[in-house]
Amino acid sequence: MEIYKKSITELSDLLNKKTISSVEMTNYFLERIKTHDSKLNSFITINDRFALKKAAEADKKISNNEHHLLTGIPIAHKDLFSTKNILTTCGSKMLKNYKPPFDATVVKKLDDIGMVNIGKTNMDEFAMGSSNESSYFGVVKNPWNLDKVPGGSSGGSAAAVAACLSPVATGSDTGGSIRQPASFCGLTGLKPTYSSVSRYGMIAYASSLDQGGPIGKSAEDCAILYNEINGYDPNDSTSNHEQKIEKIKLNFTKENASKIRIGIPLEYFSKNLDQSISDEIFKSIDVFKKLGFKIKEISLPNHNFTIPAYYIIASAEASSNLSRYDGVKFGYRCKDPKNLEELYFKTRKEGFGKEVKKRVMIGAYALSSGYYDEYYIRALKIRRIIRDSFLAAFKDVDFIFAPTSPTTAFNIGEKTSNAVDMYLSDIYTTPVNLAGLPALSIPVGYSNNLPVGLQIIGNYFSESGILNIAHFYQKNTEWHLKVPKEFDNE
């Protein structure tokens, strides 16, 4: 039946027709995790007991006809979403035994409609990384080539969905952490408009940039999930309650396409970009042209300042957000500290990994007196310039197409010794976070047998347009249907 390949709608159909129960479906995916995850290391916690109980409840709802499209469908959550009484590690030794007493809003919303949380996925420690190599729980491997990284920081979620160990997963995107792993793993991943998805219960990395979103096989799956997780949350003061977000309907036609102007920012196709990726992107742009979209070149000036600005702002916020891990109240505590100072020093020295320590130090430095204006304030100015350049572009075009990443998935260990190289892999994704815009990555081809992602960037709250464009493309192409060979079997 090839259940692993199926979309959410198809799975829901099977449950509806009682071809298969949610318990069976859940067991099926748990079995796949057991069979395959030793190769990938995409899960930190497998949630079998809770999941089967939840699936049984879902089956009851389905037979009582009290269900939602997503009832009984398995999902995996990135391990920074708090799950009540279920280990939530954030990929860190600091929280390796931490069980939150409450659910994140995103988790709760999906739980309430009966989705089955089958496990918590691996990630870069505290979401700091672009390759999933900084996790305390080990490196995650790319299902398309086990020598390659899956991208980060939502690498576990991407690897799990790409290997069909879960039909869909949640991720979070601070500088590209949904889109880049989606791109590396041949998936569709949505980074929503900042404020549209509640951050409550999502363990913070950089509060003004963090945004939760779905990673799935298709735009359709992402849209279904996004429809459920967005919305105002009184527990998150920064969550949007001015803009009413309608449920997204994927009903796009050629007629609609002809009215849409797409901008191609020339700066995003410079020497940083692999030629083969550029080629694949332009091939896909030709497809969009054929589908009726109007394509034009645009300019997004000053985006070369994005990476330093991003790393200063994100690290500054992180240095403060991560202060609470001190061994006093929860999480890891060092053994036998002699005094308070040693409790702090040893706990944080032993509990945090290298990348986290580096960013906490960068951030503390950028905020310290005498450097604040020079670093933090200047970074904020660049942030404003980036946002304004996007808004100026959106006067001319409706959406922007860009590569998601300058390279395809790279080798494990290839960039760990060169921080700048690693940070530059976020060059096309971070501007979107600085501006707070929504963007989606979709697979549009292959380079050396590794997936290439196209990024569709829209204006604030234009998720409906973005997902419709992607869905329209996916209806006419098959890149999103491909499954890595090793995992393409029952």
Partner 1 sequence: MSDWESVIGLEIHVQLLTKSKIFSASSTSYGSNPNKQASYIDLGMPGTLPILNKSVIKKAVEFGLAINAKIAKQSIFARKNYFYPDLPKNYQISQLDHPIVEGGFVSISDKGNEKIINITRAHLEEDAGKSIHSNENNCTYIDLNRAGTPLLEIVSEPEISSAHEAVLYMKKIHKIVTFLKICDGNMQEGSFRCDANVSVRKKGENRLGTRTELKNINSFRFVEKAINYEIDRQIEILEEGKEIIQETRLYDENKNITKSMRTKEEANDYRYFPDPDLLPIDIDEEYIQDIKRTLPDMPDVKMKFYKDEYKLNDEQINIILSSFDIMQFLEKVIITTKIEPKKIVNYFISSLYIKINKENYDLNDKNIEPQEFCHIIEALESNKISKNNLKKIIDELFLKKDSVDKIIDNLSVKNGNDDKFIDDLIEEIIINNKKQVDDYKNGKTKILGFFVGQVLKKAKNYDPSLIKEKIIKALEDI
Residues marked as catalytic: 78, 153, 177
Binding mask 273-292 for partner 1 (x = CB under 8 A): --------------------
User: From residue 20, how far is each of 9, 51, 313 by CA, in Å?
Assistant: 14, 16, 48
Q: SS3 for 336?
A: coil
Footprint (CB under 8 A) of partner 1, residues 8-37: none
In the complex, least distance from residue 425 CB atom to partner 1, rounded to whole angstroms = 25
Neighbouring CB atoms inside 10 A of 34's CB total 12
Which helix (H) or strand (E) covers residue 111, if one does?
A: helix 105-112
Interface characters, 194-223, with partner 1 (x: CB under 8 A)? -----xxxxxx-xxx---------------
Which part of the chain contacts partner 1 (CB under 8 A), choosing from 96-104, 388-396, 437-445, 468-476? 96-104
Q: If you write DSSP's letter for every residue of 125-163 in order, what string do you get? A: GGG--SSS-S-TT----BTTBTTB---SSSHHHHHHHHT
Of residues 319 through 338, those in contact with partner 1 by CB under 8 A are: 319-320, 323-324, 326, 328-330
The answer to whether residue 234 forms part of the interface with partner 1 (CB under 8 A) is: yes
Q: Does 316 bind partner 1 (CB under 8 A)?
A: yes
Q: Nearest approach, Cβ of 367 to partner 1 (angstroms)?
A: 4
The label of the residue with tokens 């020497």 reads: 271
Q: Which of 49, 369, 395, 420 binds partner 1 (CB under 8 A)?
A: 369
Residue 127 near partner 1 by CB under 8 A: no
CA distance 234 to 198: 9
Q: Are strands 261-265 and 294-298 parallel, antiparallel or unpaired?
A: parallel
Distance (Å, whole) CA 47 – CA 151: 24
Among 1, 146, 340, 419, binds partner 1 (CB under 8 A): 340
d(CA 51, CA 32): 14
Count of residues engaged in binding partner 1, rule: CB under 8 A: 42
In 248-274, which ranges are continuous DSSP H helix?
A: 254-257
Closest of 194, 189, 231 to residue 211, by C-alpha: 194
Query: Which one of 54-62, 139-147, 229-237, 255-263 is the stretch in contact with partner 1 (CB under 8 A)?
Result: 229-237
Residue 236 found at the interface with partner 1 (CB under 8 A) = yes
Per CB under 8 A, residues contacting partner 1 are: 80, 82, 88, 90, 95, 98, 100-102, 104, 199-204, 206-208, 234-238, 316-317, 319-320, 323-324, 326, 328-330, 340, 344, 364, 367-369, 372, 376
